[in-house]
Amino acid sequence: MGNKKYIMCSGLAFADEEDMEMLHEYAKEGWIFERLRFGVLYELHRKQPQNRIYSYDSNAVKKKDKDDYLAMFEESGWHLVGQWSRDIRFFWAEAGTPALHSDAKVLGNQYRGLFWGSVACVVVAVICFLFGGSKVWLYALGGALLGGGGLLMIACYLRMKGKRLAINPKTYGYQLWRIATGIILLVFMIRTKSAWNFWKLLAAGIAGYFLLMGCIDILRIYLRKKQKKIRRSV
């Protein structure tokens, strides 16, 4: 095994607590979180095991306030992970350090921008359905935007209200949902009478991706649980 590996982000709006706990467990095993790549991949480096906990912040910070912002967190025991980012910053601290955010309102405000972005996705989806006509690819695009954007919109709205739509991708139920979605999309595309153009093939490819990754992740969940069981018995 190399000294670097990547773990897929589960979606902070849905499973931030689970992801931060996962990074904590990896740190104790000697896999230290260094940065987020492409917005979806946690980059972990092999180092000495550390009992680190993780959190994040995506509130808007002006450039002139950056130093004061970081100093405030440093004084509380939280240190910046990797390089500065305008969109989202991750922090680490020693286990037992008070939470980075204890105010639900402050935590919820982080999702305001993402909420309006997801609303825009839903609006575009509605336009696709209204003016799709006989264009299958517009319905496929609209379905994807409505499904993904709609779910994200609900999750962000609940976050802004101090609640959470908890979806844990590291469960068998979630992976079975992905597989079922892939099957439904694939059947829909096969039964559509139009010719197999680029967009129809793309939609079929997305369905295949859901099916493949759902099966692979079920295997990953099984192996990880088996590994944890072995550790407990040692």
Q: List the domain boundaries for the chain.
A: 4-102, 103-167, 171-234
Confidence of residue 91 (pLDDT cuts 50, 70, 90): very high
Q: For residue 141, what are the CA distances in angstroms to 37, 81, 122, 148, 193?
A: 26, 36, 11, 11, 18
Predicted local distance difference test score (pLDDT) of residue 27 = 92
Predicted local distance difference test score (pLDDT) of residue 51 = 93
Mean pLDDT of 128-144: 71
Q: Read out DSSP for the chain?
A: --SEEEEE---HHHHHHHHHHHHHHHHHTTEEEEEEETTTEEEEEE-S---EEEEEE-----GGGHHHHHHHHHHTT-EE-SS--SS-EEEEEETTPPPS---HHHHHHTTHHHHHHHHHHHHHHHHHHHH-TT-HHHHHHHHHHHHHHHHHHHHHHHHHTT------TTSHHHHHHHHHHHHHHHHHHHH--S---HHHHHHHHHHHHHHHHHHHHHHHHHHHHHHHHHHHH-
Predicted local distance difference test score (pLDDT) of residue 202 = 66
The answer to whether residue 234 scores a pLDDT higher than 60 is no
Mean pLDDT of 58-80: 85
Confidence of residue 24 (pLDDT cuts 50, 70, 90): very high
The answer to whether residue 65 scores a pLDDT higher than 60 is yes
Residues in the chain: 234
The answer to whether residue 233 scores a pLDDT higher than 70 is no
Predicted local distance difference test score (pLDDT) of residue 45 = 92
Predicted local distance difference test score (pLDDT) of residue 232 = 61
pLDDT digits (tens, 9 = 90+) for 171-220: 777 788 878 888 887 777 777 666 656 666 667 767 777 787 778 778 87
The answer to whether residue 134 scores a pLDDT higher than 90 is no
The answer to whether residue 1 scores a pLDDT higher than 60 is no
Confidence of residue 170 (pLDDT cuts 50, 70, 90): low
Predicted local distance difference test score (pLDDT) of residue 230 = 64
Predicted local distance difference test score (pLDDT) of residue 33 = 92
